[in-house]
Amino acid sequence: MQKNSFLQNFIHDFKTDKSTRWFTVRLVIFCVLYGVIFHFHPSITKTLFGYQIDNYDPYLVYLIYPMLVLFAIIRWDAIKEFGNYKNKWWDTLMFSIVALFTFLSPLRGIFIAYPKLPNEFVYHIPLFIGFIFLFYAIFNINFVHKFGNDLFKIVYTFIIFLIARVLIGKFWIYLSFIMLSVLGVVLPWFSANVHVDPSVLNVVFNDFNVNVGAPCSGVYSLVTFCLLFVVSVILLAQKNKLDYLKTGIALTAGLAIVFILNIVRVTIIILVGGLYSQEIAMNLFHEYLSAIFLIIIFVVYLYLVFPRIIKKT
């Protein structure tokens, strides 16, 4: 008998199972509100309190989405078994008020006096506290208590990720040097008009001038992959025994693949910008290619790699 895919099982469960609909609807509501609040929060604080802190960092802002999807996929059977899906209106009201107060409070303005603090880690603390209360309001206390261990580990790992970004960000220059070495070999195959200057991390291909900075070095993609991998392993280890040798090999191989694909990404951007259109290269490929590669890698890991690191009983 052919085994149905997760998507086929989900569609069937959504049609027939009340808990599946309960979880899915609330997850969509939370994700939509999360994106809307992050988008409009700077203009709201500027209107109310006279200061504006730019929230837009796609790796920081939208990482919560794949983490929640991983949580849903890996813990799907337990989510379906969760039957206490009724929200008490006073709990929803109380947590909503606290979340709203946190979002609209002037607490973040205090950090403006300390510009040397790591922005993405400190400035967002009040905002993330608000999202925790918002999660309580949309789901309910019983759900959070049942899956609190999983959710706490996700939040804990995410905090470590934020700290790691600050620390590892200092080493991106070494990855850029490797990138420039590869580009110096590959780009001359396509044009003789190539100049690579490692001293200023600069590449000129025809009339397209590119600086290989931290985002292009691949350091953020590597840390992001590592975060998603660790979250997946933590969730899998809740109900399964893992082969840690295979897990280590899978992590190492994944990091190597991510770095190689990042070199491919930057090469494609430079080729498109130098041979066709600089606007398309920066607005299309530069913005989205990294996320597309990460999604492809993780779909492969979910369906092919993670099942193989689980010990068979």
User: Same domain for 66 and 168?
Assistant: no
Q: For the whole model, what pTM was predicted?
A: 0.70
**Which of 146, 176, 199 lies at the terminal end of a domain, its last residue?**
146
pLDDT in tens, 172-221: 788 888 888 888 888 888 877 777 777 767 788 888 888 877 777 888 88
Percent of the chain clearing pLDDT 90 (strictly above): 3
Q: What is the pLDDT of residue 313?
A: 65
**Which of 115, 146, 177 lies at the terminal end of a domain, its last residue?**
146
Residue 155 lies in a domain: no
Mean pLDDT, rounded, for 261-265: 89
- Alpha-helical segments (H) within the chain: 6-16, 18-49, 58-61, 64-74, 76-81, 89-104, 119-122, 125-138, 141-146, 148-168, 172-186, 214-217, 219-236, 244-275, 278-280, 286-300, 306-309
pLDDT tier at 141, thresholds 50, 70, 90: confident
Residue 295 lies in a domain: yes
Domain hosting residue 279, numbered range:
161-313
User: Same domain for 168 and 103?
Assistant: no
Residue 101 lies in a domain: yes
What does the alpha-carbon distance between residue 149 and residue 152 come to, in Å, rounded to a whole number? 5
pLDDT tier at 23, thresholds 50, 70, 90: confident
**Which of 102, 122, 146 lies at the terminal end of a domain, its last residue?**
146
Average pLDDT, the chain: 78
pLDDT in tens, 264-282: 888 888 888 888 887 877 7
Residue 151 lies in a domain: no
Spell out the residues 6+ positions from residue 204 whose beta carbon is closer than 8 angstroms to its own: 193, 194, 195, 196, 210
User: Same domain for 169 and 311?
Assistant: yes
User: Same domain for 180 and 141?
Assistant: no
pLDDT in tens, 64-108: 788 888 888 888 888 887 766 666 777 788 888 888 887 776 655
Residue 154 lies in a domain: no
Q: What's the total number of domains in the chain?
A: 2
pLDDT in tens, 24-60: 888 999 989 988 887 777 777 777 766 666 555 556 6
